[in-house]
Amino acid sequence: MTDKLFSKRMRINILKMISKAKASHIAAAFSCTDILAVLYNRILREEKHDVFILSKGHAGSAVYAALFEKGYIGQADIDSYYLDGSLLSGHVSHVGMDKIEFSTGSLGHGVCVACGMAVADKLDGRDSHIYALVGDGECEEGSVWETALLARHYRLDNFTVIVDRNKYQAITTCDETISLGDLGGKWRAFGWETVEIDGHDHASVAAALLKRKKDKPVCIIAHTVKGKGVSFMENNMLWHYRDPQNEFFANALAELEAQ
């Protein structure tokens, strides 16, 4: 399947899941959909035990939508998203889920665990690669920068952090909350091999995910649009929490189906 179709199908399922469950965080999921589509469609190597941790765990619907496209979970799972008794929770959870390594939702946490996994894999001489995706608002958490220090110190060239740089967080912009300034420059200053890309361009995403630098971890600053794919959700902070119902659902579905 092409990355474009993979992304389109993911967004349609994310919309259906969040609408049915009256859940939140649709714009956060759409922001990282293209990155997860490429990652799951053709980058993660099952036989090498590559790992992906969604550190911005509130976008868990995007992981579930990707696992569905890979055939790891079924339609009944998708239909049960965020409903009582479901294994698919609002913030991504590994409970009962083979293909999810770690539950996240408390921002600044998943990326540290991913770093620890990269340390362990190095010590064990494994040929696996660990990926973690953080939000840019999440980069306001001090623990992210402890990971930045530690990963460089241990020369973790088996570790890639992707920053979903959509410039928004929960209720306003990152700039209005705690300005991040030159975010790529900061990761570079911590000694990471850092690339900046359009996080919706599948070819650029794939090239960046495959980038390796001896003795250095890689940081991908993925410039994205929060709510990407549905015009009235793009860069509109209402859609961090709002769930799409009625005409909002119908209009969003029509837009996504036409892509």
Ligand X SMILES: Cc1ncc(C[n+]2csc(CCOP(=O)(O)OP(=O)(O)O)c2C)c(N)n1
Q: Which residues of this chain interact with ligand X, rule CB under 6 A?
A: 28, 31, 56, 58, 105-108, 135-138, 164, 166, 168-170, 226, 240
> Considering the complex, what minimum distance in angstroms separates the CB of residue 164 from ligand X?
5
* Nearer residue to ligand X within complex by CB, 135 or 244: 135
> Considering the complex, what minimum distance in angstroms separates the CB of residue 255 from ligand X?
20
In 58-212, which ranges are E strands?
130-135, 159-165, 193-198
Number of Cβ within a 10 Å radius of residue 35? 29
> Considering the complex, what minimum distance in angstroms separates the CB of residue 114 from ligand X?
15
The DSSP 8-state label assigned to residue 137 in this structure reads G
* Nearer residue to ligand X within complex by CB, 77 or 201: 201
Q: What are phi and psi of 91, to 5 degrees?
A: -95, 135
* Nearer residue to ligand X within complex by CB, 31 or 103: 31
Q: What are phi and psi of 155, to 5 degrees?
A: 50, 50
* Nearer residue to ligand X within complex by CB, 128 or 224: 224
Q: Say if CB 133 and CB 208 are below 8 A apart.
A: no
* Nearer residue to ligand X within complex by CB, 13 or 24: 24
Indicate the residue type of 135: G
> Considering the complex, what minimum distance in angstroms separates the CB of residue 259 from ligand X?
21
CA dist 230 to 8, 39, 130, Å? 11, 22, 31
Cβ-closest residue to ligand X? 135
> Considering the complex, what minimum distance in angstroms separates the CB of residue 103 from ligand X?
12
Q: Enumerate helices (H) and strands (E) in the chain, giving the number of each.
A: 10, 5
